Structure 1
Amino acid sequence: MAGMVLERFLADEAATARLGEDLAMSLRPGDVLALKGDLGAGKSSLARALIRAMAEDAGLDVPSPTFTLVQSYEARVPVHHFDLYRLSAASELDELGFDEALAQGAALVEWPERAGPYLPETSVLIELALQGEGRLARLSGQGAAFERAARSLAMRDFLDEAGWGDAQRRYFVGDASARSYEVVSLAGLPPRVLMNSPRLVLGPPVRDGKPYAAIAHSAQSVTAFVAIDKALLAAGVSVPQIHAEDLDQGFLLLEHLGAEGFLGSDGQPVAERYAAAAELLAMMHGKAWPARMQAAPGIFHDVPPFDRDAMMIEADLLVDWYVPMLTGGPASDTLRAGYHREWNAVLDRLRDREYTLMLRDFHSPNIIWRGDRSGHDRLGIVDIQDALIGPSAYDVASLAMDARVTVSPDIEKHTLDAYIAARHAAGGFDEEAFVETYAIMAAQRNSKILGIFVRLEKRDGKPYYLKHLPRIRDYLRRALAHPALAGLRDFYVAHGLLEERPL
């Protein structure tokens, strides 16, 4: 098989199990791992470790599929373990449902040479051979699956350099970007979080020769996270301490802030928690933040501004994605021009408003509740790398109109009241200007989110985001009720942008 080659010496069964974990962390639907080696070379041991890591069950019974030919396991990604030793002809893979298995899961294939042309060219070949007291694993392949496997092995090397080479790795969470997170554990120590943050792929130019991410000022490397994290930590915000970092590769070993989500046990908003988060924002907005933050000696991150170009290209997501879903075709030039005209008139009102460090996605998925602590330390904050210098009201709108859970008007008001009271207590707060800016930023953010959630379904094949659309429309109606947004509201109403639609 042409492509890249990696080798790992596996000194013992524990090392083989760790390689299984490393491969499990990289696995995605459609991947094929082809396990090759003589009898006794360790193919079954490697497969067993991988499947147990995927199922997050260290005691899971993983029998050899020698006689059944295939054994399937429910996991984060369904795993189908094929043993083709007794296969009479490659065509029998049709009867075993090989293509169907890859359509909704990943496959481990022992004796892959018997699969013939059925084995995809993108398969990752793992050859195991006895070497001295241990084994040599040789990985080869080409394409995304091999690149993910190679990156996962590099993450193990990073852990090793940090003194965590023997740690157990378990998938924690991914987000809408390419970033992912794992929980890593060593006996006798608190667990930590392993952050995998590859450099951002910018994509094609969309306006003035620039890609969307550049105009919207999305973080392009892990340096942004490190710099902002250190600044927030120094200011008394409970963000993760960084125990080890590799800025070039985009790996961080972080403090695990806790396991309890921000929402209540029933998955619903808790008014007191939202008020506490609002008070944390009030504390942050009372501080002066530098636009240049240090990530490491001689390495700095310039926090971008949330400028008009960024605001508009985000708001345009509604026209680019949501409107075509409603109408069945692209937005007309007339609609687009009117939309820009009304939005530019609204954004003119932000002149001379209060700007500060704006975390951008300050909402329930990115807040950890730590009820055993006191004050602002009750709130653990993650996902900070895309912070900008922008209107202080934006993060309050992100919190009080939480995109992932329905915040009632009463809890929204309770959250706003807590923020406003804390700002007044600190002195020098213009409440009227804040309330208007809050409405503008809430309208901008929820317009953007309507477009993003449709894009995630249409472009990225993630239909479960559409269930949030009725909530986002409701938030948008609330924001547009402010008198300063009357013209924009009339435009949305005239074009049916606030109407409830069947999914």
Structure 2
Amino acid sequence: MAETGSIIAFLARAGWADATRAPLAGDASARSYERLSRAGQTAILMKAPPGPEIERFLRIGAWLSQAGFSTPQPLARSDEEGLLLLEDFGDALMARRLAEHPEEEPALYREITEMLLALHRHTPLEDLARLDGAGLASLLDLVPAHYPCTDPAAAAQLKTAIAKTFDTLSQEPLVMCLRDFHAENIILLDRPGLARLGLLDFQDAVQAHPAYDLVSALQDARRDVSPAVERTQIAHYAAAAGLDHDRFAAIYALLGTQRALRILGIFAKLCRVDGKPHYLAYMPRVWAYIERNLAHPTLAEIAAFLRVAYPPVTPELIKELQADAPSP
């Protein structure tokens, strides 16, 4: 991360030297954010590890913007220092709107589904990682390294079963997926149509199955989405895209299982390695998604391997992980 002197010099070059700075809540990444204010104007300062992340953020953001979606426009950059000054989309997080107006949940998630349908009509960037069966399985490598694993052999068999099942079920071309796509990463803007959804945190975009981001939005680790809304949007996506509903629902359950298991590994790592135990509070919800997805009959073999390989989330398991957190 850039040091204070580098940041001051960067802001001076960008014409924001006289701005007041206020930290914003971060995420699970190594990035941090500040809101800058001056003379009635605001901007967002993103601080990232030096390297390719700034270029990747801007390249994918430009692609999304050219396709008609709303992404924060860059104002200034310093790749070598990991600094990026961005347009400020404001504070109207969809997650906050849902908390204050739960009756709007069906309409807001319908907007999300419509946005994904529109996004998936565009040919994705070719050089993005491909989450085919092998790609999905490889993402689970971090789980036994951080989340308790009771049977490493079963964990390996689980990865093989996930890859095989996906490759058997999937018939659709891979599409552009934002990956960390949920209500905390969407800002509601005063813009028409699909541009109303301001997109954040898209630099880890991949090529994946069309159900991937739908799972990310509807099986949100941070908030409960009504099961009725989830069922409705699964059916709406499949119908609008001309896909077989039953096969799409099976792939959705498979991807939900893979994503939720990986998230458990990430949350365990955030606690045990990075000293961020507050992510453990989301684990019971994430395990509940696993149980819901494993109820799908297509996932019987996957369910058998997973239940042998990994224990369920319990208060005792969470205490174990908390005990492993490094001291502040």
TM above 0.5: yes
Residue aligning to 1:383: 201
1:159 paired to 2:16: no
Map 1:93-492; keep pairs closer than 5 Å. 151-189=3-41, 191-199=42-50, 220-263=52-95, 264=97, 266=99, 270-291=105-126, 302-324=127-149, 331-349=150-168, 352-370=171-189, 372-424=190-242, 429-492=243-306
CA separation of 1:268 and 1:403: change in aligned 2, threshold 3 A: farther
Separation of aligned partners in 1, 2:312 and 2:13 = 53
Map 1:40-79; keep pairs closer than 5 Å. none
Post-superposition offset of 1:339: 2.5
Post-superposition offset of 1:484: 1.9
- Please, what TM-score do these two structures have when normalized by structure 1? 0.58
CA root-mean-square deviation: 2.4
Post-superposition offset of 1:496: 6.3
Summarize deviations over 1:332-369 as a string: whole Å, max 9, x none. 44333332343333233255433111111001221112
Residue aligning to 1:143: none
Separation of aligned partners in 1, 2:160 and 2:99 = 43
Calculate percent identity across the aligned residue pairs: 36
Separation of aligned partners in 2, 1:162 and 1:240 = 16
Separation of aligned partners in 2, 1:369 and 1:267 = 14
Letter in 2 for 1:184: L
CA separation of 1:163 and 1:456: change in aligned 2, threshold 3 A: same
Post-superposition offset of 1:466: 1.3
Summarize deviations over 1:452-492 as a string: whole Å, max 9, x none. 11221222222211111111111112222222211111233
Answer yes or no: is the 8 Å Cα contact 1:244–1:252 preserved in 2. yes
Answer yes or no: is the 8 Å Cα contact 1:279–1:418 preserved in 2. no
SS of 2:99's partner is coil
Letter in 1 for 2:38: L
- Please, what TM-score do these two structures have when normalized by structure 2? 0.86
**Relative to total residues, which structure has the larger strand share, 1 or 2?**
1
Letter in 2 for 1:313: S
Q: Which has the higher contact order (CA 8 A, sep 6+)?
A: 2
SS of 1:259's partner is coil
Separation of aligned partners in 1, 2:172 and 2:205 = 18
Separation of aligned partners in 2, 1:268 and 1:321 = 37
Answer yes or no: is the 8 Å Cα contact 2:133–2:162 preserved in 1. no
Aligned residues: 314
CA separation of 1:268 and 1:345: change in aligned 2, threshold 3 A: farther
Post-superposition offset of 1:161: 1.5
Post-superposition offset of 1:175: 1.9
Residue aligning to 2:325: none
Post-superposition offset of 1:223: 0.9
Of residues 466-475 and 242-251 in structure 1, the stretch that sits farther from structure 2 once superposed is 242-251
Q: Which one has a bigger Cα radius of gyration?
A: 1
Answer yes or no: is the 8 Å Cα contact 1:170–1:183 preserved in 2. yes
